[in-house]
Structures are given as structure tokens and as C-alpha cells.
A and B are shown apart, each in its own frame.
Chain A
């Protein structure tokens, strides 16, 4: 009887907790539709000169985990994220590629000159169409690929603290998988 009397209070407390948790979630982190799909086809020009800077052919790598990072010089969080990318780019068995999103090549170049270039290759997505094919909603966003299949999508900057907590375990797990 005593419990029944307080039932509405318990229901309220339960909802309160649910809503508080809901408020702390980041609405940008939409569930990814790209996981376990093959990488989309694309071919992007390089930062300098003609030809192909980066294409989906570069992502068909059976030996390395491929990381694709969408960035832009005008994007503040990308600067914050930059030290993390330097670390990821130097990891064994990992190849880091960059895609400059709606960024003038000369701005991307000076961005990478002043902060350092962690990318093995960079493609420029001036119109942002390739980003849409990847389901990107904004920069920075980072994809982890194994054998040409997208396995994980990180929305927003990768903070240095997240590397040990989240990113390194994911890379380790992907590397550990055998077979196809």
C-alpha cells in the first residue's frame, strides 16, 4: 500500500532520469547508415596539380586499417582534433587519408602546413558531394575501413583522451579479425 502511494513519484523519477540522459546525448550523432557497407565510389583531385588525389581504389587494402577523415581549414573542431590524427597516422598497420570538405585547396594546404600533415593522401571535395555519398553531415567525421568495408563512423572531433578509450580498441579489434 505504501509503495502504491509513491508509484507516481517513482514514475516521475524514472522519466526524469531518462530525460536527463537524453539531454546529454549529442543530436549530431545519428545512427550511421553506412556501417558494414562497402565504401562509396569516388575520385577526388589532389590539393595541388591535376590527376587523382584520392579514390576508392586507395581504400581497397587488405593489410591496413584505413581511416578516412573529413576535415576543413575553416572548421574549428578539426583543429582541436588535429593532434589525435597525428597519433593515429603514426600507428602501425593504419593508413590515414584526408578529404578536404568544401575547402579551397590553398586554405587546406596552409592549414596542413601550419599544423602538420598527418595524411598519407588527401582528396579535395570542393562541392561536398562525396561527403554526401558517405553520409557525412559536417566536419570533422572519421571512418574506419577494413577490406573496403566501412566498419565504424566517428561523428565530431576525436579527442586525444578518446584514442586510448575508444579508438585504439576499435582499431585493435578490426586488426584482430581474420579471414575476409
Chain B
């Protein structure tokens, strides 16, 4: 029993190392943080909804190694992103730049929201119109006038 709890904690603490999966990290923690930041922006093209930092695919491991190498070589963020997109295209970026080729992807949701907003607006206005009361009859007009005059 005395050993179980420490063992449990050791087991739990191992999860802390799960990120990035691999053993070979950069010795400089600042550089490693920079590398990991870039890895989070890159899509694993094998498991496409994971970033390369989350993916256990071999290709993702290779790309992580390349990111670390290039960070260690002193390449900046743009240079590393350019290295990746020149090979794999904008597909590898979770946040692709706005271009004519992906304008529909960027503007599509806004467009749909506008259409939906217009439809909601129109429906509300229509239902507001339909609940409007009928105009007053001649007799009711007379009574209304009477009441206003009495108060005045």
C-alpha cells in the first residue's frame, strides 16, 4: 500500500511527457518552446485532424525532427513555415493565408450567416406584420376621440 500511491503518481506524471512523443528535444528550453509552437501550427498529413505535435504518424515524427533542426539552425518562423508549405502546400497549415483559391472557405461561413440573418430578419418582420391589429372601425374612432377629448 505504501508503494502504490507513489507508483500511481509516477504513472500520472509520465503523461506530462506525452506531448511531442519523441525523446530528442532541443537542449535549450526557449528553442524547444519555439519549435513546439511551430509544430502546433502544422497539420499532420497522415492523421489530418491532428497537429504534428499530437500525431504519432512516422511522417509527423520526421517533420518534428526537421522543425527542431531548423530552429536549432536559427531559422525563423516564416522560413520554417515556408519550408513546409513549399513541399506540402497550404494544406499543412491549420491557419492558411487568405488567397483567391481558398476565398470560398474563408468567406463561405460569413456568406451563409448573411443569408441566414436575412431570412431570420424577413421572417420576424413578416410575423410582426401579420399580428398587427385590424384598423379601427368608424365607431371605435369616435369613441377614441371622445376619450382623448375627455382627458384633455
- Name A residues whose Cβ lies closer than 8 Å to a Cβ of B: 27-28, 30-34, 102, 127-129, 132-135, 137-138
Question: Are B58 and A135 within 8 A (Cβ)?
Answer: no
Of A127, A128, A134, the contact of B87 (CB 8 Å cutoff): A134
Interface centre among B48, B87, B88, B89 (most CB of A within 10 A): B87
- A-B contacts besides A33-B85, A33-B91, 8 pairs, CB < 8 Å: A30-B89, A31-B91, A32-B89, A33-B88, A128-B59, A132-B59, A137-B88, A138-B46
A128-B58, A137-B46 are known contacts. Are A34 and B87 too (CB-CB below 8 A)? yes
Q: Which of B1-57 contact A (CB under 8 A)?
A: 45-46, 48
B residues contacting A by CB (< 8 A) are 45-46, 48, 58-59, 62-63, 66, 85-91
- Cα distance, A128 to B62, chains bound together (Å): 8
Residues of chain A within 8 A of B85, CB atoms compared: 33
Report Cα–Cα, A32/B46, bound state, in Å.
15
Chain A hits for B66, CB < 8 A: 132
> 26 A-B residue contacts at CB 8 Å?
A27-B48, A28-B45, A30-B89, A30-B91, A31-B89, A31-B91, A32-B89, A33-B85, A33-B86, A33-B87, A33-B89, A33-B90, A102-B58, A127-B62, A128-B59, A129-B62, A132-B59, A132-B62, A132-B63, A134-B87, A135-B87, A137-B45, A137-B46, A137-B59, A138-B46, A138-B59
Quick one: closest A residue to B101, CB to CB?
A31
Chain A residues with Cβ under 8 A from B45's Cβ? 28, 30, 137
Tell me which of A33, A102, A129, A133 has the highest count of chain B C-beta atoms within 10 A of its own C-beta. A33
- Report B-chain residues with C-beta under 8 Å of the C-beta of A133: 87
Provide the main secondary structure of the chain B interface.
helix
Contacts of A138 in B (CB 8 A): 46, 59
- A135 touching B88, Cβ below 8 Å: yes
Query: CA A32 – CA B91 in complex, angstroms?
Result: 9
Q: Min CB distance, B14 to chain A, in Å? A: 28
C-alpha gap A31/B90 in the complex (Å): 9
Q: State in angstroms the CA–CA spacing of A135 and B85 once bound together.
A: 9
- For A128, the closest partner residue in chain B by CB is B62
A33: B residues at CB distance < 8 A: 85-91
Select from chain B the residue with minimum beta-carbon distance to A102. B58
| Cα separation A127 to B65 with both chains bound (whole Å) | 11
Chain A positions within 8 Å of B58 at CB level: 102, 128
Give the residues in chain B near A134, CB-CB below 8 Å.
87
Bound-state CA distance A83–B48 (Å) is 30
Q: Please, how many angstroms separate the alpha-carbon atoms of A32 and B45 in the complex?
A: 12
Q: Which 6 A-B pairs have the closest CB atoms?
A: A33-B89, A135-B87, A137-B45, A30-B91, A135-B88, A128-B62
CB of B39 to closest CB in A, whole Å: 15
CA distance A28 to B45 in the complex (A): 7
- Of A129, A132, A133, which is in contact with the most chain B CB atoms at under 10 Å from its CB? A132
Contacts of B48 in A (CB 8 A): 27
CA distance A40 to B136 in the complex (A): 84
Give CA–CA (A90, B87) in the complex, Å: 30
Instruction: Give CA–CA (A95, B45) in the complex, Å.
Output: 29
Docked pose: A118 CA to B86 CA in angstroms: 30
